[in-house]
Structure 1
Amino acid sequence: MNLSFSFMESLGTMVGFFSLKVKEKVILIQELSLKHSAEAHGKRGLRTPESFGLKNGAYRSVRSMVGAELKEGVVHFSRHTDSGCRTLLRLHRSLLWLKLMLEGLAEGPAVDGLYKTPGELCRDAYKVALAPHHPWVLRQAAELVFLALPDRRYFLQVVCVQSQQEATPVLHTIIHALTLVHTQTQRILAEHDMLELP
């Protein structure tokens, strides 16, 4: 998730709303982890890997977090809660958006020899990954953001390359890593019927 947040943050104010939402969700999961660890071990104050329970706590992995939250009854399937599972699902959808957008950026030109613009790529990815879960107002705001995105060269510079030819292998490496994370998370959430948490 840090990779996706860093990339979205590097896109600047044009996708600032999305990156802010991702950051909020990451912080929420960190706070839930810290709270759970403190309650389980009576530790307060220090924010170390141990205090977050990252080594042996309930939030050390997606699977352990899901198991702990189900056991404790903090995940609800019919109403909104600030559970780590619900928050992870929102991050999971954002990761899919990023993956789809980067896949589009890695593609070659269309039959007419033209590449899709970053705005078009972001819109296409948004329609698949996030729009089905967003209210109308947010979907309309996203359309305005996509219109204002910079050109393809700017995006290529974000991944530290100068040309599409240089970008393709770099993007494929990033996409592969995102796909592994997305596939594993999808599997765990699906096992527990958590892909549509309110």
Structure 2
Amino acid sequence: MGVKSKAAVAIVVLLLFLGSLWLQGGLDYHWDACLKGYNQQNKPHQLHNSSGVDGAQVPQVLEGCPGQTFQVSRLVTHLHAATAYASDVLLQPYLSSWDELVRFMEALGPMVGLISKEIESKTSVIRQLALQAEKNPEAELDSDVHSVNTVSTEAGTENNVESSQHTGAYHSVRSMIWAELDQGVVNFQHHTDSGCRTLLRLHRALLWLKLFLEKLAETPVAGRLRSPSELCREAYQSTLANHHTWFVRRAAELAFIAMPERAFFFRLVCVQDQEDLSRVLNKVVQAIGEVYDRTQKALEENGMLDLP
């Protein structure tokens, strides 16, 4: 075997290992819509008229992209559904948002797509826990914990009515946290496969993707647009790299080298230029930011930002 062939094999091995370590392990489960109250529609997302960062209006409708597995309109729909009522994040649309983000990563090529496999395993853990809770209703929350879904004083009657229609330990981020604390399955000293620990790993990865898309939406600096590879590496270094070992960080660098050029992202979201890409991505970043901030607050309030 030649030197080049050996190097190629080594890179593949490193990336496979990265995929297994990216979010520190997981299980491979499958779940068919075990949570209720959220209807996934593969329709173009109706965007409200609003101004982007540069003051320009975002197009009212994000149409689907023909021939693309990843659909930015579907991602925004799921993200908005996850924040359907105040102060919480609904888990089913949250996980559906991750399904779409996995498609986004897989569209970037096999090297980057390897990372998505571990994210899929994390979403599967929460889905399996939700399925188990649904099969064992006697293990569900008591009425005090269910009340988390109706604590929205500032949200008004409409949100309270909507919240009261949704119950269950794994219905939302806050209900899951309260349920697992109540059941004693969250360990603050040792690794357990709790939904809260799994959510924290997804939460950290979401910040990485949010920052990457935010940077990808930036306007040129001194007439130069930096490469997606450079931007993704920079976003990683300021987020997930803080939680990874030296070996995983080095393997991640290899994955980012294979990142496609900027023109690929134009095609991926069906836009013609950087200006249009910025408008679309700014809307995505805004939606991700709302989900991230609510999750961050819930985890922080319960001392879960450093679960082992």
TM-score over 0.5 for the pair: yes
**Cα deviations by residue, 1:20-66 (Å, 9 ceiling, x for unpaired):** 11111111100011112222259xxxxxxxxxxx9421000000000
**Superposed CA offset, 1:70-106 (max 9, x none):** 1111111111100000100111111111100001100
Which of 248, 251, 258 in structure 2 is aligned with 1:141?
A: 251
Deviation at 1:10, TM superposition (A): 2.4
The 2-side partners of 1:134 and 1:13 are apart by 21
* Cα distance in 2 between the residues matched to 1:117 and 1:97: 16
User: Are residue 150 (structure 1) and residue 260 (structure 2) matched?
Assistant: yes
After superposition, residues 83-162 of structure 1 pair within 5 angstroms as 83-111=194-222, 113-162=223-272
Q: Which runs of 4+ in 1 moved over 3 A?
A: none
Which moved further from structure 2: 5-14 or 184-193?
5-14
Moved more, 182-191 or 7-16: 7-16
> 2: CA distance between counterparts of 1:5 and 1:83?
22
Deviations 1:162-197, CA, capped at 9 Å, x for gaps:
210111110111011000000000000000111111
SS for the counterpart of 2:196 is helix
Q: Distance in 1 between matches of 2:278 and 2:114?
A: 27
Cα RMSD, aligned residues only: 1.6
Of Structure 1 and Structure 2, the greater helix share is in 1
Give me the TM-score of the superposition, normalised by structure 1: 0.89
Contact kept in structure 2, 1:11 and 1:158, CA below 8 Å? no
Residue 136 of structure 2: which of 39, 47, 70 is its match? 39
The structural deviation recorded for 1:110 is 1.6
Residue matched to 2:107: 10
1:131-187 deviations in Å (ceiling 9; x for gaps): 111111111110011111111111222222121011111011101100000000000
How far apart, CA to CA, are the structure 2 residues paired with 1:163 and 1:140?
Answer: 32
Contact 2:112 2:258 in 1 (8 A): no
2:216/2:231 contact within 8 Å kept: yes
Larger Rg computed on CA atoms = 2
| AA matched with 2:297 | R
Q: Helix, strand or coil for the counterpart of 1:189?
A: helix
Say which SS state the counterpart of residue 170 (structure 2) adopts.
coil
Amino acid of the structure 2 residue aligned with 1:13:
P
- Asked whether the 8 Å contact 2:107–2:113 carries over to 1, the reply is no
Q: In the comparison of the two structures, how many residue pairs are matched?
A: 186
Instruction: List gaps (5 residues or longer) in structure 2.
Output: 1-97, 140-164
Q: CA deviation at 1:108?
A: 1.0
